[in-house]
Structure 1
Amino acid sequence: MQQRSIAISLPATGEDEWQAIREPLTTGWLTQGPKVAAFEQAFAARHGVAHALATTSCTTGLHLILAGLNIGPGDEVVVPAFTWVATANVVVYCGATPVFADVDRVTYNIDPVDVARRITPRTKAVIAVHLFGLCADMEALRAVVPSHIPIIEDAACAAGANYKGTSAGGLGTAAAFSFHPRKSITTGEGGMVTTNDPGLAEVANMLRNHGASISEEQRHNGPRPYLLPEFNLLGFNYRMTDLQGAVGLVQLEKLDRFIAERAQWASYYARELAALDWIRLPSEPAGGRHAWQAYVLYVDPHKAPLSRNSIMQGLLAAGVSTRPGTHAVHMLGYYARRFGLKPDDYPGARDCNNHTMAIPLHNRMTAEDYAYVVEVLREIARKPCVE
């Protein structure tokens, strides 16, 4: 086979998105304005929630949620030990303490049984990550989390996913989504907060705009242009631009098609890789919809012909980009040092850190690309068990 060069992910953008930014550039309204508002309304409608608030990133969206819930020093927030570092960082930003819970090695999501062990009188929230587009087991979580403790969805990877018929974003007290280029839909950088709580939505809306009592759009379009907003909250500048909102509107229209394509090729991988007993295929939901932000394999260290890292190096040499699924946050230097954590404290997260591998899955791949990835993996399996 002729060697290819296949990226782990590429954003599916083009002429539609290029044309979408013309209006904001022409009108001169570049910061948060009518395009952001339209994007928010469309996103809320698609995900079945009452309120959607665009932000600069999923990270700032999560920070807004915690700040809006008045989480601060002395409080604890339970987070999964296997996730992108931002999930824990936002807790520290608030002056609160992240309390890690282990994850399930099959779904990669937070383990409700371990969550139950981590709840204390200081617990003020639980963050459930829908990792790689698979919704966390929200029913099992709610069964072990006391009703007065909010469950927040880190839905960075989960635009368009659903859990037993309910869309991600409407499964907890609030959620935050990401529009980073590695996600199914993108605005470059950018995020979205969703909630059905009108009070939380109102506070988050002010906090993302420096704590202002009214938005810039309201002030500019209002009858008293001499008025400046009141500031009764210490807020942040977490506003999305109208350029991003215009792109987001176009991308959102393509979301379901993008997910359907990814699901088709995820099924292809599952069929073609089933015979390789040294990898475990991603878990699929029963009665839900996987968003397939990433296709993450688990490399069995006892059966694999080579170590996970050597397999990744072999794929790279053949032109196939890969990544570890994500990292075990408790093994990262800052968290290990600050909280005195060791790798074995969370064995599920440790193993997922060491043995997961994401292979290419995105909306700019061709059938030939997918076939090539499969063939390279099969060829690696035929190599002798030496490194």
Structure 2
Amino acid sequence: MGTEYSIQISLPSVGDEEWHALRDPLENGWLTQGPKVAEFERVFAEKHQVEYSLATTSCTTALHLALVALGIGPGDEVIIPAFTWVATANVVAYCGATPIFADVNPETYNIDVQDALRRVSSKTKVVIPVHLFGLCADVDLLREGLPGHVFILEDAACAAGAKYGNKFAGSLGDAAAFSFHPRKIITTGEGGMLLTHKGSIAEQANILRNHGASISEEQRHNGPHPYLMPDFNLLGFNYRMTDLQGAVGLVQLEKLERFIQERSQWAKWYREALKHIPWLKCPEEPKNGRHAWQAFVMFVHPDLAPMPRNDIMDILQSKGISTRPGTHAVHMLKYYKEKYDFDAVDYPNAYDCDRNTMAIPLHNCMTDRDYQYIVETLESLS
């Protein structure tokens, strides 16, 4: 690449503690969902001040479980933001329901609540606000405007440890789903978590995640009769997290507060160091709450920038700095564009964000010099 630098957009921060945490499940032979998963679920729920939690194979499967547990199916509509990762829309399609897109607020990249409320119909059963990049959506405002029977399912993939006022992400709606993918703040490799205050949702989701079995694997293994098998009253899934992942997740969760504190400090440093570049708009801390800073996503003003965003990203890549667009305008992805005959102007803010946002490296494996080099390189483009 012609440079001594190679700064990744994200790297998981793991070490000896995670390595040693794997020893217990490896030695005791309980590798699939078991006591480590149960402990991870308990501690994660306590951290986010929610009563029920279920670990899953991914945030996508946690979202899917929640929708199925809520009874979502053909003929139902689920409102989602048009600027999000494709999984938010896919889980709705998995249920045979219809995703109804709403535009986003260009200041926060989160769902435009008023636009979402305008799209509520008699078929609307759920709204999925996404806490994009670690910033909580305005769930209270959304709840105020929604009919009482419409559920709120938080897509909190990026928001472990984030706060909306004094309340944690995951405690704001009827249910929530988190991701532990390596690009997230804490990781279990792949993995997710479903949180809910409602025992009925948790009970149904727990059955569904284990093939629809009437009893859990733990109950079967510890039962008095080895020949007893569970009955299967529901068409379920295999969405269980392994105890290996649960062991790693417990260690990572202990580091969450430090990870967020470090990211917050460097996000503040970025904003100060880049504020004199007129063609970059940096993300801000919320006035009421806590950003988790899963990513630092800027808006590149197309009328002010010295060149198109993609050219800027190519130059940064050539200099050893990885970048990414913020995320997708889902309505412009081929499957959804063709299925629903969407046009870019249908959700103009989402489309604008798709074309002009840029994430730069922000993670817990970076050095002071990494940050300085990124800023110096951006300054050199002006």
TM-score by length of 1: 0.97
Gapped regions of structure 1 (runs ≥ 5)? 382-387
Give secondary structure in 1 for the equivalent of 2:312: helix
Q: Over residues 128-181 of structure 1, what are the superposed CA-to-partner deviations in whole Å (9 max), with x where a residue is unaligned? A: 000000000112211221121011100000000010100000000000000000
Aligned-pair identity in percent equals: 65
How many residues are paired up? Answer: 381
1:285: which partner in 2? 286
**Conservation of the 8 A alpha-carbon contact between 1:322 and 1:358:** yes
Q: Within 5 Å, which residues of 2 pair with 1:196-345?
A: 196-345=197-346
Instruction: Judge which range, 138-147 or 289-298, deviates more.
Output: 138-147
2:128: which partner in 1? 127
Separation in structure 2 between the aligned mates of residue 106 and residue 283 of structure 1, nearest angstrom: 9
Give secondary structure in 1 for the equivalent of 2:255: helix
Give secondary structure in 2 for the equivalent of 1:30: coil
Give secondary structure in 1 for the equivalent of 2:144: helix
1:165 and 2:185 correspond: no
Give secondary structure in 1 for the equivalent of 2:27: helix
**Conservation of the 8 A alpha-carbon contact between 1:328 and 1:350:** yes
1:33: which partner in 2? 34
Separation in structure 1 between the aligned mates of residue 271 and residue 284 of structure 2, nearest angstrom: 10
Displaced runs of 4 or more, over 3 A: none
Letter in 2 for 1:123: T
1:283: Cα distance to partner? Answer: 2.9
Separation in structure 1 between the aligned mates of residue 373 and residue 336 of structure 2, nearest angstrom: 39
2:65: which partner in 1? 64
Give secondary structure in 2 for the equivalent of 1:341: coil
2:156: which partner in 1? 155
1:43: which partner in 2? 44
Letter in 1 for 2:18: E
Letter in 2 for 1:70: G
Q: Within 5 Å, which residues of 2 pair with 1:76-91?
A: 76-91=77-92
**Conservation of the 8 A alpha-carbon contact between 1:11 and 1:364:** yes
1:350 and 2:355 correspond: no
1:188 and 2:183 correspond: no
Give secondary structure in 2 for the equivalent of 1:128: coil
Q: Over residues 58-79 of structure 1, what are the superposed CA-to-partner deviations in whole Å (9 max), with x where a residue is unaligned? A: 0000000000001000000000
1:95: which partner in 2? 96
1:219: Cα distance to partner? Answer: 1.2
1:330: Cα distance to partner? Answer: 0.0
1:261: Cα distance to partner? Answer: 0.5
Give secondary structure in 2 for the equivalent of 1:256: helix
Q: Over residues 207-241 of structure 1, what are the superposed CA-to-partner deviations in whole Å (9 max), with x where a residue is unaligned? A: 00001111111211122332111211110000000
Separation in structure 2 between the aligned mates of residue 371 and residue 357 of structure 1, nearest angstrom: 18
**Conservation of the 8 A alpha-carbon contact between 1:103 and 1:109:** yes
**Conservation of the 8 A alpha-carbon contact between 1:115 and 1:144:** no
Give secondary structure in 2 for the equivalent of 1:322: coil
2:364: which partner in 1? 363
1:384: which partner in 2? none
Instruction: Judge which range, 220-229 or 163-172, deviates more.
Output: 220-229
**Conservation of the 8 A alpha-carbon contact between 1:173 and 1:196:** yes
Separation in structure 1 between the aligned mates of residue 294 and residue 338 of structure 2, nearest angstrom: 31
Instruction: Judge which range, 150-159 or 276-285, deviates more.
Output: 276-285
Give secondary structure in 2 for the equivalent of 1:372: helix
1:144: which partner in 2? 145
Letter in 2 for 1:181: P
2:75: which partner in 1? 74
TM-score by length of 2: 0.99
1:286: Cα distance to partner? Answer: 1.3
Separation in structure 2 between the aligned mates of residue 45 and residue 338 of structure 1, nearest angstrom: 41
Q: Over residues 343-378 of structure 1, what are the superposed CA-to-partner deviations in whole Å (9 max), with x where a residue is unaligned? A: 110000000000000000000000110111111010
Separation in structure 2 between the aligned mates of residue 363 and residue 340 of structure 1, nearest angstrom: 42
Separation in structure 2 between the aligned mates of residue 318 and residue 146 of structure 1, nearest angstrom: 51
1:183: Cα distance to partner? Answer: 0.1
Letter in 1 for 2:281: R
Separation in structure 2 between the aligned mates of residue 148 and residue 249 of structure 1, nearest angstrom: 36
Letter in 1 for 2:369: E
Separation in structure 2 between the aligned mates of residue 118 and residue 236 of structure 1, nearest angstrom: 31
Give secondary structure in 1 for the equivalent of 2:75: coil
Separation in structure 1 between the aligned mates of residue 118 and residue 42 of structure 2, nearest angstrom: 39
Separation in structure 2 between the aligned mates of residue 146 and residue 360 of structure 1, nearest angstrom: 40
Separation in structure 2 between the aligned mates of residue 79 and residue 312 of structure 1, nearest angstrom: 28
Give secondary structure in 2 for the equivalent of 1:106: coil
Separation in structure 2 between the aligned mates of residue 58 and residue 176 of structure 1, nearest angstrom: 6
Letter in 1 for 2:310: N
Instruction: Judge which range, 136-145 or 23-32, deviates more.
Output: 136-145
Separation in structure 2 between the aligned mates of residue 20 and residue 375 of structure 1, nearest angstrom: 40
Letter in 2 for 1:23: D
Separation in structure 2 between the aligned mates of residue 47 and residue 230 of structure 1, nearest angstrom: 33
Instruction: Judge which range, 299-308 or 174-183, deviates more.
Output: 299-308
Give secondary structure in 2 for the equivalent of 1:302: coil
